[in-house]
Chain A
Amino acid sequence: MSTNVLWDLSIDKVLAEIKQGRRLDGRKFEETRKVEINHEVSKNADGAARVKFGQTDVVVGTKLGVEAPYPDSPDKGTISVGMELLAIASPKFEAGPPRPDAIELSRVVDRGIRESKAIDFNELCITEGEKCWVVFIDGYAINDDGNLFDACALAGISAVLRTRMPKLEDGKMVKGEYAGQLKVHRKPVLTTIAKVGNDLLVDPQMYEEAAMSARLSISTTEDDYICAMQKGLGGSFTGAEVNRCVELAFKNAKSLRKML
């Protein structure tokens, strides 16, 4: 993997430039790439979004299902999040069962939506103890140019916000017919900050990801709450760096949220 000389040289270049206060693509350290959101993805999906962060490209779609609630929360529905790193997206990804990278990504996106209480699980109850709605949120990486975390999370909440509720008749779903929208109470936005050397970069691009020692993903809400955090990779953050990352996350999320 590390035998690719060009790859190693690119990392050295990133490190040298960052030390000089420059990013390879000319962005400021706290600047996100150009973000595009498009909803024309799938007519069969109950809600969908395709999000691009520069060349990073992901698609997320939602489907509602009727299932039996968990025995320990008979009056609640739930969400289920799965993000797949498709082999089409990068030479690093392979087909097959999800590996730890994909599982971490799915769970961080899941927690951002779940813990923000964007969806009130009580409102997903159909008949207590018997039937509830499950919101399936499935995503696919189309092209990995870094920061799949933020792209998938933004596509996730964006798709959720567009989700239509299927029509129910006698407790059964009517295919292709809808009865209103899924109620969404908050708009959590994830911001991932890469630590490269001693610098903190918002929205790391692929080569910056290769050069980072650690990353911190922070999901924030419009009413100034932090709802999920995840530190990843082998490096560390000092307390002061964590505080700075939180500041950066609130600021970045504020501008991204306007696009939802």
Chain B
Amino acid sequence: MTGKDKKIVYVDKGGKRLDGRKVNELRPIKIEAGVVPRADGSAYLEWGQNKVIAAVYGPKECLPKHKANPYKAVINYTYRMAAFSVPDRKNPRPGRREMEISKVSGEALQQAVMVENFPNAMINVDVEIFDSNAGTRVAALTAASVAMADAGIPMRDIVSGVSVGKAGGNIIVDLTKEEEDAEDAVDVPLAFLPNTGELVLLQLDGLLTEKELKDAIKLGEEAAKKVQGLQAAALKKKYSEALKVKEAVK
């Protein structure tokens, strides 16, 4: 309560944010592909304080059968937060927020994954958040698409997530919890197909003008390209190592 009257400067005169980042700078991101041996594909991702594990199972026969689509595979995306992943313990029962995020994230993957190759099948994507500090849905989606590629499922492009928004009148990329708590905060989670620039996830909470939205999306697209680079590197790392082992056996 003490800080109530104190005005927080979200971007100082030198262009630095509260945690020292520039307006277009992402938090450190670490991605590792293939961390769950039992899964068809998986990924571990650290994005600032956020820690995420994603696993993909499938394509397999769609059950229950009435959910099957004779034209394409169904993607069942499940986003969940561990009870201990937030400051106050979260009720483990899935909430409305998690259900909504699961729905839009699964839909975001559909455009990238060649679902038409697998009629009547389903692909299960499960993502669990173990630690969180703003931007978990885009971190989860970024990890999930690495897991999807790791599973060898054909894709047109990877899905690269990034959140943009506004704090203290500044349009910034990859907001932290502290920035999301700003009086005028706006949160815009985005996900792109980086090669075409298509938007596959787009949500917005807060007040933004038309011009600010355009600036925010532009900032997001540039940042998503950086995320794409890290996703590709993680996949290359796993498969170049696998190749080395194979050659050694020969």
B199 to A224, Cβ gap below 8 A?
no
Q: Which residue of A lies closest to B210 (CB)?
A: A246
Query: Which of A24-32, A45-53, A204-212, A225-233 forms part of the interface with chain B?
Result: A225-233
B198–A225 CB distance below 8 A:
no
Contact among B100, B193, B213 for A103, CB-based, below 8 A: B100
User: Among the listed stretches A57-65, A104-112, A158-166, which one makes contact with chain B, having 4 or more residues with CB under 8 Å of it?
Assistant: A104-112
Which residues of the partner chain B approach A224 to less than 8 Å between Cβ atoms? Answer: 209-210
Option from B99, B188, B213 in Cβ contact (under 8 Å) with A100: B99
CB neighbours of A247 from chain B (8 A):
210
Which residues of A sit under 8 angstroms from B104, Cβ to Cβ?
Answer: 104, 230-232
B90 to chain A, nearest CB (A): 14
Q: Chain B residues near A235: list those with CB within 8 A.
A: 110-111
Closest to A71 in B: B88
A74, closest chain B residue (CB): B1
Query: Chain B residues near A98 (CB, 8 Å)?
Result: 96
How many angstroms between the C-alpha atoms of A226 and B166 in the bound complex?
A: 13
User: Total contacts A to B, CB within 8 angstroms?
Assistant: 102
Q: Flag whether A183 is at the interface (Cβ < 8 A).
A: no
- Residues on A with beta carbons closer than 8 Å to the beta carbon of B218: 239
- Interchain CA distance A175-B217 in the complex, whole Å: 49
A242 lies within 8 A of B217 (CB): yes
Q: Which of B10-18, B23-31, B63-71 contacts A (4 or more CB under 8 A)?
A: B63-71
How far apart are the CA atoms of A229 and B189 in the complex, in Å? 10
Interface bits B73-93 vs A (CB < 8 Å: 1, else 0)? 000000000000000000000
B contact residues around A111 at 8 Å (CB): 205
**B146: CB under 8 A from chain A?**
no
Contacts of A221 in B (CB 8 A): 207
Interface size for chain B: under 10, 10 to 19, 20 to 34, or 35 or more residues? 35 or more
B 145-204 contacts with A by CB, 8 A: 188, 193, 196-204
* Min C-beta distance of B43 to chain A, whole Å: 21
Residue of B nearest to A240 (CB): B197
**Contact of B32 with A by CB under 8 A:** no
**A107 and B100 form a contact (CB under 8 A):** yes
Residues of the A chain whose Cβ atoms lie less than 8 Å from the Cβ of B103: 100-101, 103-104, 232
CB distance A231 to B96 under 8 Å? no
Q: Which B residues are CB-close (under 8 A) to A115?
A: 205-207
Interface: B214 (CB within 8 A): yes
Complex: A111 Cα to B213 Cα, angstroms:
17
- CB of B208 within 8 A of chain A? yes
Give complex CA distance A98, B196 in Å.
Answer: 36
The residue of chain A having its C-beta at the shortest distance from the C-beta of B103 within the complex is A100
In whole angstroms, what is the CA distance A250 to B204 when docked? 16
Q: Is the CB of A231 within 8 A of B203?
A: yes
Known interface pairs A224-B210, A239-B217; A100-B198 also in contact (CB < 8 Å)? no
> Are B217 and A228 in contact (CB-based, < 8 A)?
no
Q: Are B204 and A226 in contact (CB under 8 A)?
A: yes
- Contact between B70 and A2, CB atoms less than 8 A apart: yes
The answer, among A232, A237, A243, for a CB contact under 8 Å with B214, is: A243
A104 touches B100 (CB 8 A): yes
B132 within 8 A of A: no
B61 beta carbon closer than 8 Å to chain A: no
Known contacts A107-B96, A242-B199, A234 near B107 by CB under 8 Å: yes
Chain A residues contacting B199 (CB-CB under 8 Å) are 231, 236-239, 242
B221 contacts partner chain A, Cβ-Cβ < 8 Å: yes
Q: Is B136 interfacial (CB-CB < 8 Å)?
A: no
Interface check B42, CB cutoff 8 A: no
Is B228 an interface position by the 8 A CB rule?
no
Q: Which residue of A lies closest to B112 (CB)?
A: A236
What are 6 A-B contacts defined by CB distance under 8 Å? A98-B96, A101-B103, A226-B209, A229-B202, A237-B198, A238-B199
Chain B interface residues (CB < 8 Å from chain A): 66, 69-71, 96-97, 99-100, 102-104, 107, 110-111, 115, 188, 193, 196-210, 213-214, 217-218, 221
What 4 pairs between A and B have smallest CB-CB spacing? A234-B110, A229-B204, A236-B198, A231-B202
